């Protein structure tokens, strides 16, 4: 007797996406350690956007400085980031997913999406996804199956590469109970250390921890949230609503460290002008400005402040960003600067300065932005 159809969440993750796209364009690179990042020059400053499985075997990972990657794999092939090509291929993938009968697709980024579907054979549907994506693009993907987004996302890790894996409430502790808390989606090394200081080492420890103690030690919101993660709890709602950016940011990596903090402030103002252009194009004013500074050799700090009122005014945004410079250690050399503006919600009133605040797009720029993974389109 066939089982009844029920709702499932599938997490689709393209395997080594950026590297795989480059191999499609350069078949001669198949099987070689391939590293994609910045301008593709490992003698310059920049970070790894992705690495092929062959390069990962040597310990290369996303976010690693290109120079470090080159030391780990001297014979690797380095290529520059081509965001336009990755966007184009990603669009084909997402359109392919949307074309599957009954599928609701929630895009997460270039290379991943949640798919909601009602079926009595989720593994079969997952294989349909893999076949459809491969036919449309020549790319392979892994699919995690879950009864919610958290379990589907984590299941994909067990599916890689090119596989399918199911993780549900019934199997959660059998699979995850004895794993370290850092194995959870949303728990990084820093949070894992905080939990370890409380005697919480494994996923099961976290699930069985006192909600009151977690709230007291980690905050009334995050404490209970992490406990729910330990139980694999999460939303099962997959939405096809278009993703809306919360903000826009620009970054510059310097090939030589900046030690003059007046120059740092000038660069902050230049980046703020570019960010103002970005938010003006969306007709959504800035409500908060943030500043990221990466000290040499590779230590990153961030800070932000709310604006007095929503605005497109480039001087107001630049002044706010420049004021944040005072919060950093001016005795240290700077490797990277980033400026970000968080925007008002769509539909909120547009301030009267919307036409006068557009930044001068012809301003000179020092350094080169580090391409990163974009927000979903």
Task: List the catalytic residues.
Answer: 112
Q: What is the DSSP string of 278-295?
A: HHHHHT--EEEEEEEEEE
User: Distance (Å, rounded) from C-alpha 9 to C-alpha 114?
Assistant: 7
User: Distance (Å, rounded) from C-alpha 312 to C-alpha 277?
Assistant: 9
Residue 95 burial (CB count, 10 A): 11
Burial 310-337 (b: 16+ CB within 10 A, else e): bbbbbebbbebbbebbeebeeeeebbbb
Long-range contacts of 182-188 (CB under 8 A, 24+ apart): 183/154, 184/154, 184/229, 184/230, 185/150, 185/153, 185/154, 185/229, 186/229, 187/226, 187/229
Q: What is the DSSP string of 77-114?
A: EEE---HHHHHHHHHHHHHHHHTSTT-EEEEEETTEEE
User: Distance (Å, rounded) from C-alpha 353 to C-alpha 365?
Assistant: 25
């Amino acid at each position: 007797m066939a089982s009844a159809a029920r709702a499932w969440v599938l997490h689709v993750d393209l395997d080594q996406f950026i590297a795989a796209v480059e191999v499609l364009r350069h078949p001669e690179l198949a099987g070689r350690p391939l590293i994609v990042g910045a301008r593709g020059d490992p003698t310059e400053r920049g970070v790894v956007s992705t690495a092929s499985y062959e390069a990962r075997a040597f310990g290369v990972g996303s976010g690693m400085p290109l120079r470090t990657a080159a030391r780990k794999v001297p014979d690797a092939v380095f290529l520059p980031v081509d965001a336009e090509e990755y966007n184009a291929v990603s669009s084909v993938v997402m359109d392919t997913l949307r074309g599957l009968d009954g599928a609701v697709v929630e895009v997460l980024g270039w290379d991943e999406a949640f798919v909601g579907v009602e079926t009595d054979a989720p593994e079969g549907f997952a294989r349909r996804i893999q076949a459809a994506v491969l036919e449309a693009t020549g790319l392979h993907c892994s699919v995690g199956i879950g009864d919610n987004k958290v379990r589907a996302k984590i299941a994909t890790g067990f599916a890689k590469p090119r596989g399918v894996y199911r993780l549900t409430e019934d199997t959660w502790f059998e699979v995850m109970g004895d794993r370290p808390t850092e194995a959870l989606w949303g728990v990084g090394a820093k949070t894992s250390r905080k939990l370890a200081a409380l005697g919480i080492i494994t996923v099961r420890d976290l699930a069985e921890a006192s909600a009151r103690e977690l709230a007291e030690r980690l905050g009334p919101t995050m404490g209970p949230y992490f406990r729910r993660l330990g139980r694999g709890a999460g939303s099962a709602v997959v939405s096809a609503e278009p993703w809306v950016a919360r903000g826009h940011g620009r970054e510059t990596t310097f090939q030589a460290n900046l030690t003059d903090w007046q120059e740092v402030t000038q660069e902050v103002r230049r980046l703020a002008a570019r960010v103002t252009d970005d938010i003006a194009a969306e007709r959504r004013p800035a409500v908060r400005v943030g500043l990221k500074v990466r000290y040499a050799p590779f230590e990153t700090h961030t800070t932000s402040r709310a604006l007095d009122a929503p605005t497109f005014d480039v001087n107001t945004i630049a002044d706010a960003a420049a004021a944040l410079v005072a919060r950093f250690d001016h005795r240290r050399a700077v490797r990277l600067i980033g400026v970000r503006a968080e925007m008002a919600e769509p539909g909120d009133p547009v301030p009267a300065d919307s036409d006068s605040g557009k930044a001068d797009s012809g301003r000179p720029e020092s350094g080169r932005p580090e391409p990163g993974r974009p927000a979903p389109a």
